[in-house]
């Protein structure tokens, strides 16, 4: 079998069942352009080491160019008998360069250091795409925040009305978490930018190759300092899978809110038709499927991470074939995020917020009770007492079925002598919001500063 990279010591070919189990071209073929880039770099270090002549290098590079063109056009695809992307491409190279030249390229390298390198190259490229896609969601949130700079909404803890907040403040809370995800991808890249090429099967190469030169040609910052680590480690994959899972979780959290906000009961938002789906039986339905798929895919992304970690657990050094299972989880994470993130960005960008309804609900459920307590503190009342007094006021309101601002001067005085009518200055949403003006607070002035800071950070990533 031409696509096989081994065979000398075997009496016959692999059983069909083994070949079927072993074959990875279904999922590793996407690495073909990276494999060819690695081969070009490897050919050059073979030349430097004196293992190829100038002429041979030229012939090798020409054959690799021809192979790459055929891979890109689809003229060259793996045969069912090819074990993996590396074997299939060596076969394709030999078809184009002839066996005498094509057979020289494998010197000093192993699929073990190749696959570890190609995987990092592929992940780094897609980390950049995912980062850009997450930034589009952040931008959509920022645009919505800037379109509604002073619209109030009920802020919640335990899903219960807690304190009024600005809608812009709430939206930007999601944006900050997502910006950290992008920053994580950037941080991760520093660890991913180390090339395992030159590690060989596990022990390095005896052929005088230059791992640093290969690393530089392939866009890495440096080469690994330990060939066993280079071929056996997959923490870079696991860390990437974790960041993908975290991105999924962050998309899921905002999606859960949007799903809730779009209910009749909340009526905080209307989804754009272009980002909603219908029902096959109920003509009136308009469903938030983008948000639901985000929630669903978060589970899948967590599964990709935990599956990969389970594969790695207990694996002895160095390479073991179990490591072939490292690719599908991270590829799946990439594929899912690359379809999900543009849809989430579009859904967020096209949301219509019902700001009047949100504003009406913002103070309800005694959401200004904390403002009463803090007003009392500013009058010199210890917070412990102030909390009691404000709580008493809430209880009186509940008894009468009224809100805090409905309490008469007499009712206020009956709750506490400290509650003079001037407390009403904080019994408005505007007053409550404006009072939380320190950094990070929900006052319009603080949120404006927050927007400026977020824009500064966005420009820096």
Which residues of the shown chain bind ligand ARG in the complex (CB under 6 A)? Answer: 24, 28, 84, 111-112, 115, 319, 321, 323-324
> What does 275-318 look like in DSSP terms, one character per residue?
G-B--SS-TT--B-HHHHHHHHHHHHHHHHHHHHHHHHTTPPSS
CB of 20 to ligand ARG, least distance (A): 14
* Number of Cα atoms under 13 Å in the Cβ half of residue 116: 32
The residue from 22, 222, 267, 279 that is catalytic is 279
The residue from 158, 206, 225, 280 that is catalytic is 158
Residue 310 or 452 having the CB closest to ligand ARG: 310
Residue 164 · residue 433 · CB < 8 Å: yes
Residue 198 · residue 169 · CB < 8 Å: no
Residue 393 · residue 419 · CB < 8 Å: yes
CB of 322 to ligand ARG, least distance (A): 9
Residue 297 or 327 having the CB closest to ligand ARG: 327
Q: Residue 380: left (phi > 0), alpha (psi -120 to 50), or beta?
A: left
CA angle 9, 15, 21 (to 5 degrees): 110
Residues 43 and 49: their CA atoms lie apart, in Å, by 10
Told to judge if 148 belongs to the known catalytic residues of this protein, a careful annotator would answer: no
Judged by DSSP in three states, 210 sits in: coil
CB of 10 to ligand ARG, least distance (A): 13
CB of 323 to ligand ARG, least distance (A): 5
CB of 233 to ligand ARG, least distance (A): 13
Q: Please say whether the dihedral angle defined by the alpha carbons of residues 78, 83, 88 and 91, taken in this order, is positive or negative.
A: negative
Residue 117 or 324 having the CB closest to ligand ARG: 324
Residues 251 and 134: their CA atoms lie apart, in Å, by 9
Told to judge if 158 belongs to the known catalytic residues of this protein, a careful annotator would answer: yes
What is the chain's length? 461
CB of 114 to ligand ARG, least distance (A): 7
Q: Which of 224, 439, 446 is closest to 318 using CA atoms?
A: 224
Q: Which residues contact 144 (CB under 8 A, 6 or more apart)?
A: 168, 171, 348, 349, 351, 353
- Give the pairing type, strands 160-166 and 194-195: unpaired
Q: Which of 95, 109, 124 is closest to 40 using CA atoms?
A: 109
Residue 111 or 295 having the CB closest to ligand ARG: 111
Residue 40 or 111 having the CB closest to ligand ARG: 111
- Give the pairing type, strands 352-353 and 269-270: antiparallel
Residue 242 or 319 having the CB closest to ligand ARG: 319
Describe the chain by its helix, strand, coil percentages, rounded to 5: 65, 5, 30
Residue 213 or 312 having the CB closest to ligand ARG: 312
CB of 111 to ligand ARG, least distance (A): 4
Q: How many other CB atoms sit within 10 Å of the CB of residue 408?
A: 10
- Which residues does the annotation mark as catalytic? 158, 279
């Amino acid at each position: 079998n031409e696509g096989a990279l081994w065979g000398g010591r075997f009496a016959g070919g692999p059983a069909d069942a083994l070949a079927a189990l072993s074959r990875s071209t279904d999922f590793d073929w996407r690495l073909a352009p990276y494999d060819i880039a690695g081969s070009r770099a490897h050919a050059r270090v073979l030349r430097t080491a004196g293992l190829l002549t100038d002429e041979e290098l030229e012939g090798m590079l020409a054959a690799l160019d021809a192979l790459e063109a055929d891979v890109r056009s689809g003229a060259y695809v793996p045969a069912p008998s090819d074990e993996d992307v590396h074997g299939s491409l060596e076969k394709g190279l030999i078809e184009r360069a002839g066996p005498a030249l094509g057979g020289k390229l494998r010197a000093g390298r192993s699929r073990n250091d190749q696959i570890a390198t190609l995987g990092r190259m592929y992940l780094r490229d897609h980390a950049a795409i995912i980062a850009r896609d997450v930034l589009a969601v952040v931008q959509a949130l920022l645009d919505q925040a800037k379109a509604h700079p002073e619209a109030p909404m009920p802020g919640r803890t335990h899903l219960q009305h807690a304190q009024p907040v600005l809608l812009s403040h709430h939206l930007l809370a999601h944006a900050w978490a997502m910006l950290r995800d992008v920053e994580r991808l950037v941080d991760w890249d520093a660890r991913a930018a180390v090339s395992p090429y030159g590690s060989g099967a596990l022990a390095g190469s005896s052929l005088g190759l230059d791992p640093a030169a290969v690393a530089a040609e392939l866009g890495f910052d440096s080469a690994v300092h330990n060939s066993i680590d280079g071929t056996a480690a997959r923490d870079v994959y696991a860390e990437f899978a974790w960041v993908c899972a975290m991105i999924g979780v962050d998309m899921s959290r905002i999606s859960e809110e949007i799903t809730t906000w779009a209910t009749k009961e909340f009526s905080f938002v209307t989804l754009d038709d272009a980002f909603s789906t219908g029902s096959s039986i109920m003509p009136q339905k308009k469903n938030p499927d983008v948000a639901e798929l985000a929630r669903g895919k978060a589970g899948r992304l967590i599964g990709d991470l935990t599956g990969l970690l389970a594969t790695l657990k207990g694996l002895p050094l160095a390479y073991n074939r179990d490591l072939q299972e490292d690719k599908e989880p991270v590829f799946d994470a990439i594929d899912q995020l690359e379809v999900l993130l543009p849809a989430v960005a579009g859904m967020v960008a096209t949301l219509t917020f019902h700001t009047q309804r949100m504003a009406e609900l913002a103070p309800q459920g005694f959401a200004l009770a904390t403002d009463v307590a803090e007003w009392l503190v500013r009058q010199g009342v210890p917070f412990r007492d102030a909390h009691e007094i404000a709580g008493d006021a809430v209880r009186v309101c509940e008894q009468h079925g009224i809100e805090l601002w409905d309490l008469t001067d007499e009712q206020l005085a009956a709750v506490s002598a400290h509650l003079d009518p001037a407390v009403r200055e904080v019994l408005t949403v505007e007053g409550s919001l404006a009072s939380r003006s320190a950094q990070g607070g929900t006052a319009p002035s603080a949120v404006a500063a927050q927007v400026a800071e977020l824009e500064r950070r966005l420009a820096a990533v």
